[in-house]
Amino acid sequence: MKETRDIATPSRTKEILKKHGFTFKKSLGQNFLTELNILRKIVETAGIDGNTNVIEVGPGIGALTEQLARNAAQVLAFEIDDRLLPVLQDTLAPYPNVTVVHQDVLEADLVKTTGEVFTKDLPIKVVANLPYYITTPIMMHFLESDLPVAEMVVMMQREVADRISAAPGTKAYGSLTIAVQYYMEAKLAFIVPKTVFVPQPNVDSAILKLTRRPTPAVAVTDEQAFFRLTKAAFQLRRKTLWNNLLHAYGKDDATKAWLTKSLEEADIDPKRRGETLSLAEFAALSNALEANRG
């Protein structure tokens, strides 16, 4: 039996990095967690057990992967940095239920890869410490894929977590809030201080728990049009909804008439700002715009 000392302690992390001569790449946003209790709390928040398959993104040296492997049926980890492959081969050797794939998760065919790796048809959860610089694209890649992800428990910059879990009318509320909450229920689980990472980032992190809704939060006639509208509404943050819509769709008379009619039908005052509209109001406006499109 190979050694199974926990990876996520400051001394063991240091030892692993030294053994493999590993240096951090700033461009990949690498920050390794060295606090066991937080990792265990992440696994607990995600409700990982023997009836769960888990996808991890950016396993690093395997600190979270190890905790997932001890609880899950199978773990599939995507790692983009080829320098970490021999490290993971070493640190995760005691865990035969882990598969590390050397690939950028944004380029991965998630349905195909999970089909090849997971031997049992179990609920899939995404649990990861996401690199700050690419948090949003990774989350949207999972949400927009055909992979039936039941839940995501992901660590990210606290500010991004606040934006995703925000309510209408708050400063943090925006098109990202809507894009995620359309698919998932978002709840900020807990804060992770910057002091428990090597190297230490500049800001605190947060664990966000996202649970897939059985159906999207609102019914829209055209999803692409809906997301285009929500992006447009926040384009110029301090401007009214009307100004943002003109900026996005055009200022000619026909467009103005189309927008005016649709806003009236959706019962939305054009002088409001985008951040005051709920998901339901955005859906009503999007559906009215589509119905009145010439």
Give the tens place of pLDDT for each residue, 255-278.
Answer: 999 999 999 999 999 999 999 999
* Structure-token match 């995507």, residue found: 78
Check whether 97 is labelled as a binding-site residue. no
Tell me: the pLDDT tens digits for 74-102?
A: 999 999 999 999 999 999 999 999 999 99
- Give the distance from CA 165 to its chain's centroid: 11
* 10-212 and 223-291 agree in CATH topology: no
Check whether 79 is labelled as a binding-site residue. yes
Check whether 104 is labelled as a binding-site residue. yes
Check whether 50 is labelled as a binding-site residue. no
- Tally of CA atoms within 13 A in the half-sphere of 186 that contains its CB: 25
For the chain, what is the mean pLDDT? 94
Check whether 274 is labelled as a binding-site residue. no
Architecture of domain 223-291: Orthogonal Bundle (1.10)
- Tally of CA atoms within 13 A in the half-sphere of 65 that contains its CB: 31
Q: Where are the domains of the chain?
A: 10-212, 223-291
Q: How many CB atoms lie within 10 A of CB 12?
A: 18
CATH number of 10-212: 3.40.50.150
User: Residue 146: which pLDDT band, with cuts at 50, 70 and 90?
Assistant: very high
pTM of whole model > 0.85?
A: yes
3-class secondary structure, 116 = helix
Tell me if 262 sits within 8 A of 229, measured CB to CB: no
Check whether 58 is labelled as a binding-site residue. yes
User: Residue 1: which pLDDT band, with cuts at 50, 70 and 90?
Assistant: very low
What six digits make up the tokens of 96? 């035969």
